[in-house]
Each structure stands twice: as C-alpha cells, then as structure tokens.
Amino acid sequence: MANQSRFQKVGSITWKFIREMIPVMLGVYFAFVLSDYSEARKTANQFKEYKQLIKKEVSQNLDNINPTYEYHKSFKEDLIQIANHKDPYNHYLDYQMKGLRPGFVSSSAYQTGIQTGIIQEFDLDMIQQINNIYTYQSKYDDYNKSLLSGFINKELPQNSTEVKSIASNLIMSMNDIIISERNLIEYYEALIDKLEQQ
C-alpha cells in the first residue's frame, strides 16, 4: 500500500509537471515560429528593396555608358581622320578635343548586397550574372584609370610623327573601351530584363 501511494504520488507529481510544462513548451515553440516568420518577412522586404536598388543602379550605369559609348565611337573616327590626314600635326591643332570622357559606373548597391549578405537571396545563376557584370565593370574602371593616367603623363605632340603615334595608341585604346562599353550595355540590358521578369 505504501508503494502504491508512493507510486501515485510520483505519478501525480509527474502529471503535474507535464501539465505545467506543455503550455511553457508551446509558448516557446510559438515564440520561435513567430520570430522565424517575422525574420523571413523582414528578409523578404529587404530583398525586394535590394532588387530595386540593383535594378536602379544598373539602369543608371546603362544611362551613363550609352552616351559615353557613342562619344568614344565618334572620337575614334576623329582620331582615324587625324592619323590619316596629309598634315596630321596641323589637323590635330585644329581639332577641338573634348577629352577622353571615361564612363562613370557605380557599384554601391552591389557592394551593399555583398556587405549585408542580402545578395544571397538571389538564385545562384542570378548571383553569378551579377558578379560577372560587376567584375567586368571593375576591369572597365581600371582600364579607364590607366588610360587617363597614361594620357595625362604624356607631353603634347610637337610634330606629325608624334601626332600619328599618339593617335594610333588612342585608336587602339578606344577600340578596347568601345568593346567594353558595348559588352557592358548588353550585360546591363540583359540583367534589367531578368530582374523585371522576377
């Protein structure tokens, strides 16, 4: 009888413990579910904003590159005329050069996505496409800086031979820049289209 009473007492304590723990466990479980839901919603909203930031940045980069691309094509043709002119030096002196006009492209939205990790919300193909564009864009920026630095450090030509030499170098550089800008324009347009489809 004492064993049965002891058994009933242990059972009663156990049952009481279970009855008290179930609400606590359910409360903790629902708190985790609610927290996860809230975090998922927050991430979804941030990702939506990030997609708009990337799209806006790429659109602005496209708007900046388009006129620069047209200028560089025209500038290259002018350089060809100068180099092929019967008197390159005097033709160069008459030419109204408007500068090299390197394209300005931004990567702040992209960098924000990397720093916050929100870029990881894109699927892997999209991440790769975005990374490729911004890597290419970085190389384009580096090439422009190198070209400007080299051009600024050159002395002005003093004769037709020097004019032809500088014009030839700039023609080759313009070829590279034009190809890069054309590629960037295509990459930007493709990314904008893809972002609009999502």
Q: The tokens of 67 are what?
A: 């006129």
Q: Residue 137, Cβ neighbours under 10 Å: how many?
A: 23
For residues 38 and 45, what is the distance between their CA atoms, to the nearest angstrom?
Answer: 11
**pLDDT classification of 4: cutoffs 50, 70, 90:** low
Total-model pTM: 0.80
Cβ count near 59 (within 10 Å):
15
Give dist(CA 136, CA 55) in Å, integer. Answer: 17
129-143 confidence digits (pLDDT tens): 999 999 999 999 999
Evaluate if residue 111 carries a pLDDT over 60: yes
Q: What tokens does 62 get?
A: 């496209």
- The tokens of 51 are what? 């997609």
Report d(CA 169, CA 179) in Å as an integer.
16
Q: In whole angstroms, how far apart are CA 39 and each of 33, 43, 116?
A: 10, 6, 15
- Give the domain ranges of the chain: 50-197
